[in-house]
Structure 1
Amino acid sequence: MKVVVGSKNPVKMKATGNVLKQIYSEVEVQAKNADSEVPNQPIGLETTINGAINRAKNVYTQEFDLSVGIESGLLETPHSITGYLDLQWCAIYDGDKTTLGVSAGFEYPPLVIKNVMKGMEVGDVMDRVTGIDRLGEKKGAVSHLSKGLLDRTSNTEQCVLMAMIPRMNQKLYFKK
């Protein structure tokens, strides 16, 4: 199984490999930058999902069995403190079908959302808040906010696994 991830973020590559190695006996995972064709800070369900799909499709070539696009974005959420939850979406593309999965969502502190609404990216604000440069390529904001109970790799693994469920159960999802 040869797979390409549409991002050079080491967390996304590691999470993809961790999940796929549990499903397939042999997996080779490569990473290549791919354009999401959405804003750097996606806000909204459709924008975030489209970013994941675009990453997967823009990095796909017939050299690979699967391509993976992962995009984090803010989803408007009624009754939450800030009005938004952060969710990671994964799109897996095989040249024909796209399957989707989503991670557990969490809420950023109000200061973060306030700055994002002024045009900053979540990652930049969280780097300032934590004092950790490139936090999103390391343990991630979710690890910092959950006091280490969930790190970004595990959170990303969730969306990859959820996107694989239809592929793991082809007879239930895809008619021949």
Structure 2
Amino acid sequence: MRVGVGSTNPVKRSATESALGDLPGASVESVAVASGVSEQPVGEPETVRGAENRAHNILDAGDYDLGVGLEGGVAEVDGADGLFLLMWAAVTDGKRTGLGAGPRLRLPDAIATRVRDGEELGPVMDDVLGMDGVAEKQGAAGALTGGIIDRESALEQAVAGAFGPFVTEFYE
């Protein structure tokens, strides 16, 4: 089974490979595709749409059995104060689509303010941490939890959830 991931970010590819585990015959390839949403998706609907768009666009980019799209965004959450980091994954075969979400992490106020003012979370985290490429490493999830979780493990959970309709019969 050929699985395409709609991003060249190595963390997203690795999260997909980890979610697939030892699934016999599965191979994962990464290809840059458009998300069709803003660089910093805001709200659940835009973040989900970005993941779905990436999953469908990867099928158009090559001969894949399944397309995987992952999208990180920020959103206000009903019943909770603050702005939260969130992650969504979509998996599609072109006919049906599975969705899964990762954890939600409250952003510190200073970071949330900058994101609300229009900055993208990745570069803000690079600035706050004084390093480049946080999104390709531990991600905001790793930084904000002191390494208890990292971006790859958070995305892996989202991808694993999105694979549900393709690995069980419960969604038929």
TM-score category, normalised to shorter length: over 0.9
User: In 1, Cα distance between the equivalents of 2:131 and 2:79?
Assistant: 30
Post-superposition CA distance 1:62-107 (Å, at most 9, x none): 611101000011121134342x211110000102111100001101
The alignment status of 1:9 with 2:9, answered yes or no, reads yes
- Counterpart of 1:118 in structure 2 is 117
SS of residue matched to 1:92:
strand
Share of identical aligned residues, percent?
39
Kindly report the root-mean-square deviation, in angstroms, between the aligned alpha carbons of the 2 structures. Answer: 1.2
- Counterpart of 1:76 in structure 2 is 76
User: In 1, Cα distance between the equivalents of 2:79 and 2:113?
Assistant: 17
- Counterpart of 2:166 in structure 1 is 167
Residues 81 and 110 in structure 1, CA contact (< 8 A), matched pair in contact too: no
Post-superposition CA distance 1:30-87 (Å, at most 9, x none): 10111111000000111010000001111114611101000011121134342x2111
User: In 1, Cα distance between the equivalents of 2:57 and 2:70?
Assistant: 12
TM-score w.r.t. structure 2 length?
0.95
- Counterpart of 1:44 in structure 2 is 43
Matches within 5 A, 1:1-176: 1-22=1-22, 24-61=23-60, 63-82=63-82, 84-170=83-169, 172-174=170-172
Show structure 1 runs of 5+ residues with no match: none
User: In 2, Cα distance between the equivalents of 1:134 and 1:81?
Assistant: 28
Residues 36 and 55 in structure 1, CA contact (< 8 A), matched pair in contact too: yes
How many residues align structurally?
Answer: 171
**CA-CA distance at 1:166 after TM superposition:** 2.2
Residues 21 and 27 in structure 1, CA contact (< 8 A), matched pair in contact too: no
Deviates more, 1:104-113 or 1:48-57: 104-113
**CA-CA distance at 1:135 after TM superposition:** 0.1
Post-superposition CA distance 1:132-152 (Å, at most 9, x none): 211011111111111111111
TM-score w.r.t. structure 1 length?
0.93
User: In 1, Cα distance between the equivalents of 2:78 and 2:130?
Assistant: 30
Show structure 2 runs of 5+ residues with no match: none
